[in-house]
């Protein structure tokens, strides 16, 4: 069974991860994140270096993805068998994830646990184009 990725969404339907990805100015960043997730979906397990537990914050993990020397750090958590929920997007600065992004991820995790937020299947950037090109 391959891994499945989910995005954090508000109960109103607003997909906060899609909003973060669409807001990235660098197309290379979207490609790097897309292909990292696609690759990880097919891996039996994720070695250190692919995903890291964020120290000091329970159940919070980060992916380490670089594009054009910018360090993207999607924050998320495991839920269920081979399912991963992306809670927030972050960009590392001075080797640290901004405090605001950490607090956002933690708050969203709490909302999901209280059914005040939800998980929706992650859609890969330009997936329509990918499929069209494949035909």
Partner 1 sequence: MRNKAYRDAAVAAHVSNTIAAQIATMREAHGWTQTVLAERSGMRQSRISVLEDPNFENVEVATLRRLASAFDVALTVKFIPFSELAKWTSEIGEGTFSIPDFSHDALPSVDASQALIPSNIATAIAATTTIDAQLASGGGMFLLRGYPGAPVDCPVNATAGLFSMQLNEWARLLRENEPRVAVARVKEAPAPVSAVGSASGNLRQGTVPTFDLATPQLPDNRVLN
Binding site for partner 1 (CB under 8 A): 1-2, 26-32, 34-36, 38-45, 47, 49-50, 64-67, 124-126, 129-131, 133-134
Q: Please state, in angstroms and rounded to a whole number, the distance separating the CA atoms of residues 120 and 111.
A: 14
Shortest Cβ distance from residue 27 to partner 1 (Å)? Answer: 4
| Comparison of 39 and 110: residue with beta carbon closer to partner 1 | 39
Q: Please state, in angstroms and rounded to a whole number, the distance separating the CA atoms of residues 55 and 98.
A: 14
Shortest Cβ distance from residue 135 to partner 1 (Å)? Answer: 8
| Comparison of 41 and 120: residue with beta carbon closer to partner 1 | 41
Beta strand residue intervals within 15-82, DSSP E: 51-53, 61-63, 65-67, 70-72, 75-78
| Comparison of 92 and 111: residue with beta carbon closer to partner 1 | 92
Shortest Cβ distance from residue 41 to partner 1 (Å)? Answer: 7
Give the CA radius of gyration of the chain: 14
Q: 81 in helix, strand or coil?
A: coil
């Amino acid at each position: 069974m391959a891994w499945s990725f989910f995005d954090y969404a508000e109960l109103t339907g607003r997909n906060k991860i899609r909003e973060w990805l669409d807001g990235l100015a660098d197309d290379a960043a979207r490609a790097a994140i897309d292909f990292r997730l696609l690759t990880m979906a097919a891996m039996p397990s994720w070695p250190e270096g692919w995903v890291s537990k964020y120290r000091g914050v329970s159940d919070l993990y980060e992916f380490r993805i670089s594009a054009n020397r910018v360090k993207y750090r999607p924050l998320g958590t495991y839920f269920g068998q081979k399912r991963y929920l992306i809670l927030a997007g972050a960009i590392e600065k001075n080797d640290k994830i901004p405090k605001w992004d950490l607090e956002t991820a933690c708050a969203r995790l709490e909302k999901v646990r209280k059914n005040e937020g939800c998980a929706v299947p992650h859609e890969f950037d330009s997936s329509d184009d990918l499929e069209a090109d494949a035909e």
